[in-house]
Amino acid sequence: MIVLQDVHKSFGSKKVLQGINLEVPKGQSLVVIGGSGTGKSVLLKCVLGLVKQDQGTITVGGDILEPKTREAFLEKFGMLFQGGALFDSLPVWQNVAFRLLRGSLKRPKDEAKAIAIEKLRRVGLTAETADLFPAELSGGMQKRVSLARAICADPEVIFFDEPTTGLDPIMSGVINELIREIVTEMGATAITITHDMTSVRAIADQVAMLHDGKIRWIGPVGDIDTSGDAHLDQFIHGRADGPIEAVR
Amino acid sequence: MSIASPLALLGRSVIAMQASVGRVAIFTADAVSHLFRPPFYPREFLQALLQIGWLSLPVVGLTALFTGGALALQIYAGGSRFQAESVVPSIVAIGMVRELGPVLGGLMVAARVASSIAAEIGTMKVTEQIDALTTLSTNPMKYLTLPRLLAATLSVPILVAVGDSIGVFGGYVVGVTRLGFNSATYLENTVSYLETWDVISGLVKGAAFGFIVALMGCYHGMNSDRGAQGVGRATKAAVVSASVLILAANFILTEAFFSA
C-alpha cells in the first residue's frame, strides 16, 4: 500500500501541494485527475524522490520512503513517462531491457533481449522493432516501447504520467486497454495522472481529483458522474463555467 | 541610489558567483565519490573514451600541426633580430610541449566535447531521460557523469602528447622546407634541449584540462533549463566556462611548476 500523509511542496512562493492525504491499496489502480499545473506530476515526483517534499511522509508497504528504502522501492517499480523518455542512444530492445542489462537484476544479454522482445510483443510490437532506434518510431510506438520498458522487470508498482497525451483517439484507446490489461494480469498497484476522461474510465478503480494543492474528491470510478461535487462535475464535463477558473 | 546601485549589483554578482562555485564543488564531490562505489559502467566509460579521445584526434592534430608551423616562422622572425635563428627547434619543442600543446588542445576539446556533453545531457534532462534513469535504479551521476569525467581526464593527456608530436613535426617541416634548416640538426636540437619535466608538466596540464572540460559539460547539462533555449544556454555556458577555467588553471599550474 502507498500512503501519503500531509504532503506539502512549494516552489518559491508558489504552493503546489498543500497537505495531500492519499492511500492506494495494493493491486488497485488510482487515477489522479486535475487541471494543468495543479501539481499532479509533482505529486508523482515526490513519491519517486525526484522532488523532495517540504513536509509530510510517504510510505510504501509501511516503510517511510528515504534514500535507502527508495532504492529498494525503485527495484520493484516501473514508470511510463509522458514523452516516453526513451534513451536516444540505445536501440529499442536495450531501452526495454535497460534494468536487465545492469544492476542487481542483471541477466545475460541474450536472455535480456528475449525478455525485451516478449514484452514488446505484449504491447503489440513486432520483434523487428527491437533493433530500431527510438527516433525511427512514431509517437504511438514510442509510448508502447515505454510501456514495455515499464513492465519489463515485472514491477509491483507502476506509474503512468499522461499515458495518452499526444496520441490520436484510436491509439489512446489501444494504450488505455493495454494499461488496464497489464495492471490486471500483473496484479500491480498503479497510479496514473491524466486529464483524459476516456483514460480515467478505462484505467481507474479509484479516482482522486487534485485542485488547489489538495485532494478535492476521491472515490470509485463508478461514482464520478454522481459525485455532486461542482469542481469534479465541471472538470469531467469540460465546462468553462463553474467553480474552477478558466482563463480565456 | 546612483552610488548604491552599482555596489548592490557588484554584491549580487559576487554572491551569485560564490553560490555557483559552491554548486560546482558539491557536484564535483558527488561525481568523484562514485569512483569508489559500485556499480561501475565500463561500457559507458569506453564509449566516452571513443567520443572524447579518439574522435577529437583530427581537430587536435590539425590545430597542433598549424600551430607548430606558425610558431617556427614567428620564432625565426624574432630570433633573426638577435642572430638567434638556431633556437627555433628547441623553442618550438618547449613551447609546444609546455604551453601551446596542452592549452590549444584543451581549448579545442572544450569547443568540441564540452558543448556536445552539455547538449546531450541537457536534452536528456528536458526530455525526462535523466528522471527515467533514476526510476530504473540507475544513478545519473554514476552512469553519465563519472564515465565522461574519467574518460576526459585520461584521454586528453594522450591527445596532448600526440598533439605535441604533431606540432613539433609541423615546426620541423617549416624549418626544413621553408627556413633552410638541416634535417638532422633540427631534430638533434629539438631533442637535446627538451627535458622530461617539460613533457610531464604538459601532460599534467592535459589531465587537468580534460577534467575541467567534462565537468563543465556535465554540470551545465545536468542543470539545463527547460526547452531548446535552456539547452542552448547550457551548451554556451559549458564552452565558455570550460575555456575560461582552462586558461585560469593553465596560469595556476604554470606558476606552480615555475615555483617548483
Minimal CA separation from A17 to chain B, in Å: 20
Distance CA A179, CA A190 (A): 9
DSSP β-ladder status, A214-220 and A206-211? antiparallel
Position A244 scores a pLDDT of 82
Domain boundaries of chain A, sorted by first residue: 1-76+199-248
The type of residue at B226 is R
| φ and ψ at residue A179, rounded to 5 degrees | -60, -45
- In chain B, which residues have their Cβ closer than 8 Å to the Cβ of A83? 127-128
The residue of chain A nearest to residue B127, with distances taken between CA atoms, is A85
Are the C-beta atoms of A179 and A162 separated by less than 8 Å? no
- Chain B within 8 Å of A45 (Cβ-Cβ)? yes
Instruction: Say what the ipTM of the complex is.
Output: 0.87
Q: Give B181's pLDDT tier (boundaries 50, 70, 90).
A: very high
The residue of chain A nearest to residue B47, with distances taken between CA atoms, is A89
Distance of CA A121 to the CA centre of its chain: 21
Position B219 scores a pLDDT of 98
Tell me which residues of chain A, numbers 68 to 87, contact chain B at a CB-CB cutoff of 8 Å. Answer: 71, 74-75, 77-79, 81-83, 85-87
- In chain A, which residues have their Cβ closer than 8 Å to the Cβ of B127? 83, 85
Convert the pLDDT of each residue in B62-113 to its tens digit. Answer: 999 999 999 999 999 999 998 888 999 999 999 999 999 999 999 999 999 9
| pLDDT above 70: residue B190 | yes
- In chain B, which residues have their Cβ closer than 8 Å to the Cβ of A49? 134
Chain-chain contact of A99 with B137 (C-beta, under 8 angstroms): yes
Residue among B41, B128, B138 minimizing CB distance to A81: B128
The residue of chain A nearest to residue B39, with distances taken between CA atoms, is A103
- Give the Cβ contact number of residue B158 at 10 Å: 17
- Chain B within 8 Å of A103 (Cβ-Cβ)? yes
Looking at chain B, the whole-number percentage of residues with pLDDT higher than 70 is 98
Position A239 scores a pLDDT of 84
Q: Residues B51-71, buried b or exposed e (16+ Cβ, 10 A)?
A: bbbeebeebbbebbbebbbbb
Position B2 scores a pLDDT of 60
Residue owning grid cell 606558476: B255
Query: Which residue, among B46, B120, B121, B137, would best test binding to A if mutated, counting the most A CBs under 10 Å from its CB?
Result: B137
Minimal CA separation from A168 to chain B, in Å: 21
- In chain A, which residues have their Cβ closer than 8 Å to the Cβ of B139? none
Residue owning grid cell 559500485: B38
**CATH 3.30.720.200 is held by the domain A1-76+199-248:** no
Residue pLDDT tens, chain A, 248 long: 899 999 999 998 999 999 999 999 988 999 999 988 888 889 988 988 888 899 999 998 888 888 777 777 888 889 999 889 999 999 999 999 999 998 888 899 999 999 999 999 988 899 999 999 999 999 889 999 999 999 998 899 999 999 988 888 888 888 898 889 888 888 899 999 998 899 999 999 999 999 989 999 999 999 999 988 999 999 888 888 888 876 55
Return the C-alpha cell found at B93: 619543442
Minimal CA separation from B213 to chain A, in Å: 22
Chain-chain contact of A45 with B131 (C-beta, under 8 angstroms): yes
What is the mean predicted confidence (pLDDT) over B117-137?
Answer: 95
Return the C-alpha cell found at B4: 548604491
Residue among A85, A87, A103 minimizing CB distance to B137: A103
The residue of chain B nearest to residue A80, with distances taken between CA atoms, is B132
The residue of chain A nearest to residue B42, with distances taken between CA atoms, is A102
C-alpha distance from residue B136 to each of A60, A75, A103, A158, B117 (Å): 17, 7, 10, 12, 22
Comparison of pLDDT for A44 and B163, the residue scoring more: B163
Chain-chain contact of A50 with B131 (C-beta, under 8 angstroms): yes
| pLDDT above 60: residue B1 | no
Are the C-beta atoms of A44 and A161 separated by less than 8 Å? yes
Minimal CA separation from A227 to chain B, in Å: 35
* Mean pLDDT computed over every residue of chain B: 95
Query: Which residue, among A102, A158, A165, would best test binding to B if mutated, counting the most B CBs under 10 Å from its CB?
Result: A102
- In chain A, which residues have their Cβ closer than 8 Å to the Cβ of B134? 48-50, 74
The type of residue at B191 is V
Chain-chain contact of B138 with A103 (C-beta, under 8 angstroms): yes
Chain-chain contact of A103 with B129 (C-beta, under 8 angstroms): no
Distance CA A60, CA B34 (A): 28
- In chain A, which residues have their Cβ closer than 8 Å to the Cβ of B141? none
Domain boundaries of chain B, sorted by first residue: 1-37, 41-259
Chain-chain contact of B137 with A49 (C-beta, under 8 angstroms): no
